[in-house]
Chains A and B, each alone.
Chain A
């Protein structure tokens, strides 16, 4: 039996970087660690699929 694996969000960067000299990365979410990252990945994945439907 072949198991169906759902697609995943691997990385998320929010907003746009206006700085024309280097890449600005939002570190706010980094403060909340890997559990926050996993939850946001699941949430965004579900929203993406919802958008597709």
Chain B
């Protein structure tokens, strides 16, 4: 075990391990035992983290692929952060104590300065991670990708299912990219968007993870934002209930590591897993503006990359303590059926981006099975004669 660094928090601190790669929340006593000094934060009342642990750097809205459901509405001429802007933001994040950045877009590999940005992240003590479509990735580029921590290639289906999900035949390119990356590093996985039409093909993607000896399958919920807002691809109520049993089955059947994105929290908690285990392993719903923040290609920082209104990225440190009050306050102000849900503190009302896409940022997540059951029980309004 190797401790890379740590930072103080109100509850104690967060310790980053480089081997095995992990972030540990520890109490104040453990921080003392590890030799860290008393922190003024330990006298403060409970609140959001002093800084996000992870920031999503949406480097550009530039991508030639033109996927039909692209959530950032990327185009070949989309906006992009310059190398200088990205490095300045990384300096700001390092000063705050951010541990990881996830670089994406758009297609980050289309940017000439991607590797310079990743190397700068390493230089200031932040682990850079990457999401890519893998299109155009060659052996030389794969070799340079060693600078990243984890790299996931987007694969929403195998063979024809890829074309159906993305609108073009990119599967052979994605598979080649996975093989090239896996040849140079171990931390290579797949990001797979789970939509209404891709749901039944997820098992094939899990088989691919096993066959290529990848280290994780990350399942992402389809969200009706960007170009995806025009598609009718959200999970059906029945699929939403089947999601967690399916993830469990994939773990046992294929003996692979499965990750679910934060927006799937309501679908997991509906099955009433151990709340203690969920809290310990960090399984939770919307962590935007707390554990997580995003920087948009236009320069503003937001709670997550799906939320558009935000603040100036270059003043992130100054704005962080008071930003995102509405999202952070959801647990205190949640309406029914979230208010009476035993998992509210973990689930935090599901995904704010999905709620906003359906009408209001602070509504309960409409994809949650509990919310759907609650709404089905609600009496219909009486129409005036």
Contacts and interface: CB of A to CB of B under 8 A. Distances in A.
B127 A16 contact: yes
B29 to A, nearest CB: 4
A37 B24 CA distance: 13
Nearest to B287: A23
Given A27-B258, A28-B257, A48-B34, A19 B191 contact: yes
Contact of A27 (B11, B268, B292): B268
Contact of B281 (A30, A49, A51): A30
The size bracket of the interface on B is 35 or more
A48 B24 contact: yes
A44 B150 CA distance: 22
Interface in A13-51: 13-34, 36-37, 40-41, 44-45, 47-51
Smallest CB-CB A-B distances: 9 pairs: A7-B30, A20-B104, A7-B29, A18-B129, A11-B25, A37-B280, A24-B259, A22-B261, A34-B276
18 contacts: A7-B12, A7-B26, A8-B26, A9-B24, A12-B282, A15-B259, A16-B127, A16-B187, A20-B103, A21-B104, A23-B287, A24-B261, A25-B281, A30-B283, A31-B252, A48-B26, A48-B33, A52-B34
Interface of B: 1-3, 11-12, 15, 20-35, 54, 56-58, 71, 100, 102-105, 127, 129-131, 148-152, 187, 189, 191, 215-216, 218, 220-221, 247-248, 251-252, 257-263, 268, 273-274, 276-284, 287, 291-292, 294, 304-306
